[in-house]
Structure 1
Amino acid sequence: MSTHKSDPSHREAGEALSGRRPSKRLGDGVYNTLLNELLSGAIEPGSRIMIDRLSRTLGVSQSPIREALLRLEAQGLVTKTHLVGYRAAERMSRRQFEELYEMRLLLEPFAANRCAQLAADSQLEELERMTEDMKRESGHDSYASFARQDAAFHEFIAACGGNSLVQDSLSALHGHLHLFRLRFNTQGTNEALREHEQILAALKARNHERAESLMKSHISNSRERLLDAFEDGQSSAAPGPRDEGAGRP
C-alpha cells in the first residue's frame, strides 16, 4: 500500500499542471513534483507509487506521470517490477554511500578543473547567481529546495567542462545522494556554501589546479558531514525488499 501522503501542495500542483501548457512543460511539472516529494520524504523510501492515485491527486492524465516515472527510474530514484509497478528507491546502504563518494571524488575534481579552463564568462556569472540563490535559501526550513540547488550547482560545473558523460554520471549520483540526505543541519549547509564560494572564486580566477583541489576537499568534507547520518542509525542496514516488488536504488 502506498505511503504517498495527501498535502495541500498537491492541489496547488494540480491546478498548475492542469492548465493549458505545452506537453513538455506539463511533463516537467509532474517530474519536478514527484522529485520534490521523493526528496522531502512525502513519498517514503520503498513505498509503492500508485499511478492512478497520482493522476487523481495532481489532476493530470496518467501519460505525463508515466513519463516522469521513466525519468526517475533512469536516475535510480524509483524502481519498476513486473506485475507490481513502481516503488520509491530504498535508502542507500553504508557501502553504497562510500561507493558514491568514491565516484564523486573521481569525477568532480576533474569537472572543476575543466570548468576553470573552458567555461564562458557568462557561465561563470550563472554559477555566481546560483551561489547567491543558495545563500538566500539556506535560512529556510526546506532542505529539499537547497538540495536541488546544490545538485544544480555541481552539475552546471560539470556541464561547463564539456564532457556529457561526466555530467550524466553526476546527475545520477546526485539523485541517489539527495534521497539519503533528507535532513541536514544549518551549520553543515553554511559550511557547504562557504566551500562553494571558494570553488567559484577559483573558477573565476581560471585557476584550474586550485579549483580541482578545492572541489576534492569539498567532496571529502561533504562525505564527513553526511557520515553522521549512518552513525545515528538512519541508514545502517543494506537496502533490500520490504515486501513483494520492492527494489534496490
Structure 2
Amino acid sequence: MADQIESRLKGRVRAARRSVLTEEIYERVKSLIMNGDLEPGARVNIYAVARLLDVSQTPVREVLSALESEGLLTKEALRGYSVAPVLTPAQVADLYHLRLLLEPWAAAGAAERVTAEAADRVRAELAGLPRAPQGTRYEDYHDIAAHDARFHDLIAELSGSPAVRESLQRTHSHLHLFRIEYEGRRSGEPTLAEHARVAEAVIAGDREAASEAMRAHLAAARDRFLRIGT
C-alpha cells in the first residue's frame, strides 16, 4: 500500500528538478488529485511521492500538509494521508447555501469600502484572464480555477472580514474536484461574465448591485454544479 502511488504512476510523471520550489511540487501533487490519477480514498505516502518526483521528503511533507488544510487530503493517525472523498450533490448544495449567506454580504462590504487601489486590484484580476481556457484536464483549466479562487478571495478580503475570508478559502478545491468527477468538458465563460458584473458593481461602490450580482453568480454556479451531478 505504501508504494501504491509510485507503482501506479511511475513513468507517467516526469521527475521534478532537485532545485524545485515547494510550489511546483504542490502543483504536481494537486494535479494528480484533480485529474483523478489519485482517486478518492487512495493512500498518499510521503516517501513514495518523494521518490516519484525525485525530491527530498521535506518539501513533500509541507505540500501534503497544505493539501490537507485545503481539504483535498485527509490524515489519520498511523495511516497517513489519503485523498479526500468527492463532495456529494447534497454537500455541494449545502456549501453553496453557506456561500450565499456570506458572499453577497462580502460583496456589499467590498463595494462600501472600495478605494482606488482596491478597484485597480479588481480590474487587474479580471484583466489577467480575459478569456476562458478550454480543455478537460486540470492543467487545461488551472488558470480559470485559480482566477475563480483569487477573485472570490479578493472580494472577501476587501469586505474587511478575515473570518468570512477564511471560511471561504477551503471551498474552491472541493468544488473543482466535484466538477472533475462528474463533468466531461468545462467552460469558464459564464463565470468570467458573472465576475465582471460583480466587479463593476464593487468598483462603482454600489452595495446593493454588488450583493445582487454576487447572489446571481453563486446561484448560477450552484445550478451548473448540480446539473453536473444529476
Calculate the TM-score normalised by the size of structure 1.
0.80
- Give SS of 2:87's match: coil
Task: State the 1:194 CA deviation.
Answer: 0.9
Match of 1:145 in 2: 143
Question: What SS does the corresponding residue of 2:66 show, helix, strand or coil?
Answer: helix
The alignment status of 1:229 with 2:228, answered yes or no, reads: yes
1:108-154 alpha-carbon deviations (Å, 9 max, x no partner): 11111111122332232222222233333x13321233112211111
TM-aligned CA deviation for residue 57 of structure 1: 2.2
Residue in 2 that maps onto 1:168:
166
**Residues 5 and 43, structure 1, Cα contact 8 Å, conserved in 2:** no
1:54 Cα deviation from its structure 2 partner: 1.2
TM-score (norm 2): 0.86
**Residues 51-96 of structure 1: CA distance to partner in whole angstroms, max 9, x if unpaired?**
1121122222111111121122122110012222111111111221
Query: Which amino acid letter does the alignment assign opposite residue 203 of structure 1?
Result: V
Pick closer, same or farther for the CA change 1:28–1:155 going to 2, 3 Å. Answer: same
Q: Which residue of 2 aligns with 1:200?
A: 199
Who is 1:37 aligned against? 32
Task: Give the letter aligned to residue 88 of structure 2.
Answer: S
In structure 1, the residue matched to 2:125 is 130
The within-5 A match list for 1:64-143 is 64-136=59-131, 138-141=132-135, 142-143=140-141
Check 1:190–1:29 CA distance in 2 against 1; reply closer, same or farther (3 A cut): same
Contact 2:73–2:84 under 8 Å retained in 1: yes
Q: 1:10 to 1:112 in 2, by over 3 A?
A: farther
* 1:39 to 1:131, Cα distance in 2 relative to 1, 3 A: farther
**Alpha-carbon displacement from aligned partner over 1:21-75 (angstroms, at most 9, x marks no partner):** 7xxxx33332233233322333322211121121122222111111121122122
Unaligned runs of 5+ in 2: none
CA RMSD of aligned residues (A): 2.1
Indicate if the aligned counterparts of 2:112 and 2:205 stay in contact, CA closer than 8 A: yes
Task: Give the gaps of 5 or more residues in structure 1.
Answer: 232-249
Counterpart of 1:123, as a letter, is A
State, as a whole percentage, how many aligned pairs show the same letter: 33
Deviations 1:186-212 (A, max 9, x none): 5x5211111111111111111111001
What is the CA distance between 1:101 and its match in structure 2?
0.6
Q: Does the 8 A contact of 2:114 with 2:205 survive in 1?
A: no
Pairing partner for 1:5 from 4, 9, 12: 9
1:61 and 2:56 matched: yes
Letter in 2 for 1:227: L
Query: Which residue number in structure 2 is paired with residue 190 of structure 1?
Result: 189
Structure 2 residue aligned with 1:48, among 43, 47, 66?
43
